[in-house]
Amino acid sequence: MDIKPTAQRATIWVDRRQDADSGADVLKPMKSTALGIDADFRLPHRTEQVRLARQLVKEAIPDVRHLFNRARRYRDIQYDSAGRVVGKLMSRRPADVVALIGAEKPKDGREGTLFHSLAVSALVIAFGRGLGLSEDTVGLLGFGGLLHDIGKMALPTKLLEASGPLDTAELMLIRTHPELGHEILRQIKNIPKVVLDICLYHHERFDGSGYPYGLVGAEIPEAARIAAICDVYDALTTTRPYKTAWSPYEAIDAMLRSTGQFDPVLLNAFVSWITSDGITQ
């Protein structure tokens, strides 16, 4: 999969300046903070999108729950269940799907993983379309986004339900989830490589400081680089037991400051896309 965003898509729609003290890129106030999925869903024109997003969650989450429960119990998945979820997401307008990111999610660890997986799948589908990828490729991204955290189902439940930051031992354990998920998924006959790549490599960092293998730059499959951006964006804009949700502006600001974590071209394209008028309409 070779993604080359156009110059228009790769232009950040915010002003940036260099912080003289830290050397980090920081943002000036944006001309508009309606980042496509603005946190203020009370605005009248958001009402219908929110309603559709909630309806989509209601339709899709039973299949997601079945998918993850089976992975926890039997260490395998029913790919048909995943297909039904991705099909539902693929059938909706990008703006309606992206509204999932702003939808209220449960704080419970196990349920939170389900909703996060659904939201990441929705986001990679919408972003993939924003990149101009083929529908076949977008569908594979959707499968990968939905299943990227499936390895967490092989971890102790109490670890997922932790109400605060993890200690060193717990962090080391949870960092095994990409490989655990890859082991579950590779048992599926003819599962696409893109799906496996997203699961295994979505925590790799562009500068080589990620896990599980410390891959650098183009060594990380492009699908995983896309998923990593969507994964972090949803995590930052979601309330967790130990943190409140950041606004879209705050999340984008943090991601742009995080030098070395993301593919800069894809992050550039993501910021352009997520702030575009096409998502807000």
pLDDT for position 128: 96
Nearest to 146 by CA among 120, 170, 165, 126: 120
- Alpha-carbon distance of 8 to 268, in angstroms, equals 10
Confidence of residue 46 (pLDDT cuts 50, 70, 90): low
- pLDDT tens string 224-281: 999 999 999 999 988 776 678 888 889 999 999 998 999 999 999 999 998 874 443 4
- At 25, give phi and psi (nearest 5°): -75, 130
- pLDDT tens string 108-140: 556 788 989 999 999 999 999 999 999 999 999
pLDDT for position 107: 55
Collapsed DSSP state (helix, strand, coil) of residue 70: helix
Do residues 174 and 166 lie in contact, with contact meaning Cβ atoms separated by under 8 Å?
yes
Residue 177 has pLDDT above 60, yes or no: yes
Residue 45 has pLDDT above 70, yes or no: no
Confidence of residue 79 (pLDDT cuts 50, 70, 90): confident
Confidence of residue 215 (pLDDT cuts 50, 70, 90): very high
In words, the CATH class of domain 38-280 is mainly alpha
Q: Specify the range with the lowest mean pLDDT, choosing from 15-29, 121-135, 180-194, 243-257.
A: 15-29
Burial of 38 (0-12, 13-18, 19+ CB in 10 A): middle
pLDDT > 70 in the chain, percent: 76
pTM more than 0.75: yes
Within 10 A of 273 (CB to CB), how many other CB atoms are there?
22
